[in-house]
Chains A and B, each alone.
Chain A
Amino acid sequence: DQQVKQNSPSLSVQEGRISILNCDYTNSMFDYFLWYKKYPAEGPTFLISISSIKDKNEDGRFTVFLNKSAKHLSLHIVPSQPGDSAVYFCAASARTGNQFYFGTGTSLTVIP
């Protein structure tokens, strides 16, 4: 049973435009969320996080939005750059829990 879902397997965006990657979760106990970026044949690298006490967290070109009532989070990349082309995973956990649950990933392609 997939507790974290990324329903878009792929996304293509023109360079300079906004990329929006979405993630939904089912467990209302989740209160800490992460986004990772992954290149082929490499391990994921941490990008940005958000806890449930916030609804937005920003780091440079990357902003994560959390809508707790909808159990939805999104990652915005503005402006998108070709180097952003990668697979993006969202992950969620409950602070009282013992693991992060990962989505299936969204492959982002930024077209020059």
Chain B
Amino acid sequence: DGGITQSPKYLFRKEGQNVTLSCEQNLNHDAMYWYRQDPGQGLRLIYYSQIVNDFQKGDIAEGYSVSREKKESFPLTVTSAQKNPTAFYLCASSTDITEKGFFGQGTRLTVV
């Protein structure tokens, strides 16, 4: 089955530690995205990638980093510089950036 997989579903980290969230897709999509969802807010774009080895900052990129070494994978690192890292993180992919995205199940990150 084609789809987009995020792991883990729940993640706990101590303040000051970097943490990497995994996102893998087997839909052969060129574009991939990371969003953050906070209570009472919509999905806000952190980073997106249109093609392998290329990525662009979204609206709230500060404190995050990404890589796109393979078409299938777009991991997100939440660094210690991110002031409010506790959130629900969603990864998505699409055929290109003008088309609708297919979302993963999300990762709930809690920093204590």
A residues in contact (CB < 8 Å) with B: 2, 4, 6, 9, 32, 34, 36, 41-46, 49, 89, 91, 93, 95, 97-105
Chain-A contact segment, one of B63-71, B76-84, B102-110: B102-110
Our pick among A9, A98, A101 for the contact of B40 (Cβ within 8 Å) is A9
B102 touches A46 (CB 8 A): yes
A104 touches B40 (CB 8 A): yes
Could you name 27 residue pairs across A and B whose Cβ atoms are closer than 8 Å? A4-B42, A6-B42, A9-B40, A32-B98, A34-B100, A41-B9, A41-B88, A41-B105, A42-B105, A42-B106, A43-B6, A43-B90, A43-B92, A44-B103, A45-B103, A46-B100, A46-B101, A49-B100, A89-B43, A91-B43, A93-B98, A97-B98, A98-B56, A99-B33, A99-B48, A102-B35, A102-B44
| Chain A proximity of B14: nearest CB distance (Å) | 23
B51 beta carbon closer than 8 Å to chain A: no
What is the chain B residue whose CB lies nearest that of A34?
Answer: B100
B97 beta carbon closer than 8 Å to chain A: yes
B41 beta carbon closer than 8 Å to chain A: yes
Which of A4, A6, A98: most chain B CB closer than 10 A? A98
Known: A98-B48, A99-B48. A44 touches B90 (CB 8 A): yes
| Chain B proximity of A37: nearest CB distance (Å) | 11
B106 touches A99 (CB 8 A): no
Residues on the A chain within 8 Å of B101, using CB: 46, 100
